Amino acid sequence: MEAGRIRFLRLAGEELLREKTRDGIGLLAEKRLHGLLKRWILDDPACHEVKIVGQGERPRKFVADVLTPEGRIFEVQTGKLYPMREKLAFYMEQTAYPVTVVHPIFPLKYVSWLDQKSGEVTSRKKSPLHQTPLHAIAELKPFLPYLDSGRLSLCLPAIEVEEFRLLDGWGRGGKRGSHRFELIPLSLLDTYYFSTAADYAAFFPQHEALEEPFTAKTFGKISRLSGFLLYDALFVFEALGVIARCGKEGRAALYKKI
């Protein structure tokens, strides 16, 4: 693991120094992280951006981020997983390739605010938001038919990052509605792998409050999920057979562990 962290730091430094054209605020940061993770998977340009042709009477075509010499596809998704639904359906239904989705999570993030005119950093704080594998699992609702297929895996590199944001928004000194200027990976903290339903089930929170019938509100307090992510996580764990509904408490559904 230590060797992997050192390699990640080396690649991150090389990507940071690489000259790239900025074609939009925030886009460079996403492309840089995307490029870094492709090299982290396999540092061979010949295996990057490979066209994949599907099977069938009217085969479709997609470009894989990485296709290894052994015949495994790696897809890097630095944003939300939902936009990948069409591409993953293509891989699962029109090809025989095993596929790994690489989706970074940020358990430790520092946010620095930049004055747009002077370019100076006006403040730097540790973000109160700490992403965990549960945040990624909650995004898997569109891919439930494939999770236990034996062909779809999930890799979550947990990365410490520094986020620079422009004070170009409104309210609170220009912070609301502001744009991300840069996202710099600082270190690789851990890596989580999921290949079977049992792997996902193992990440269901172990807490005494979840041993008895519990509500979504209780689960949210323990998992630190909220909104759609909270209910989508419960939906995924229910579909995987980890939990089941067992009645109601007022208007709130009750769940129990299986």
Specify the pLDDT at position 25. Answer: 47
Say if residue 24's pLDDT is above 60.
Answer: no
Kindly state the tokens that stand for 203.
């990440």
Same domain for 47 and 32: yes
Name the pTM for this structure: 0.88
Same domain for 102 and 6: yes
What one-letter code names the amino acid at 177? G
In DSSP notation, 195-242 reads -SHHHHHTTS---GGGTS-B-HHHHHHHHT--HHHHHHHHHHHHHTTS
210 in Cβ contact with 257 (< 8 Å)? yes
- SS3 category, 32: helix
Same domain for 187 and 242: no
Say if residue 26's pLDDT is above 90.
Answer: no
Same domain for 90 and 174: yes
In tens, the pLDDT along 184-222 reads 899 999 999 999 989 999 999 999 989 889 999 999 999
Q: What is the mean pLDDT of residues 239-243?
A: 94
| Cross-strand pairs, 112 | 124, 164
In tens, the pLDDT along 46-56 reads 999 999 999 87
> Residue 63: how many CA atoms within 13 Å on its side-chain side?
5
Same domain for 77 and 46: yes
Specify the pLDDT at position 115. Answer: 84
Q: Between these two residues, 211 and 245, which has the higher pLDDT value?
A: 245
Same domain for 179 and 58: yes
Say if residue 134's pLDDT is above 80.
Answer: yes
Same domain for 242 and 140: no
Q: What is the CATH number of the domain that holds 254?
A: 1.10.10
Exposure pattern of 37-70 as b/e (b: 16+ CB <10 Å)? bbbbbbeeeebbeeebeeeeeeeeebebbbbbee
Quote the domain boundaries for residue 228: 206-258
In DSSP notation, 77-110 reads -SS-SGGGHHHHHHHHHH----EEEE--EEEEEE
Specify the pLDDT at position 170. Answer: 82
- Rounded CA-CA distance 51/34 in Å is 18
Q: Of 168, 185, 203, at which residue does a domain stop? A: 203
Q: How many domains does the chain have?
A: 2
Q: What is the DSSP code (8-state) at residue 161? A: E
Same domain for 199 and 92: yes
Return the number of other C-beta atoms located less than 10 Å from residue 194's C-beta: 23
Q: What is the mean pLDDT of residues 72-91?
A: 95
Say if residue 19's pLDDT is above 70.
Answer: no
Q: Of 184, 203, 222, at which residue does a domain stop? A: 203
Report the interhelical angle of 216-223 vs 227-239 (nearest 10°): 100
Same domain for 179 and 249: no
Specify the pLDDT at position 1. Answer: 64
Q: Of 162, 188, 203, at which residue does a domain stop? A: 203
In tens, the pLDDT along 100-124 reads 999 999 999 999 998 877 878 888 9
Same domain for 131 and 232: no
Same domain for 132 and 214: no
Kindly state the tokens that stand for 63.
């470009």
Specify the pLDDT at position 146. Answer: 93
152 pLDDT tier (thresholds 50, 70, 90):
very high
Nearest C-alpha neighbor of 109 from the set 149, 68, 160, 74: 160
Q: What is the mean pLDDT of residues 173-194?
A: 88
Same domain for 239 and 146: no
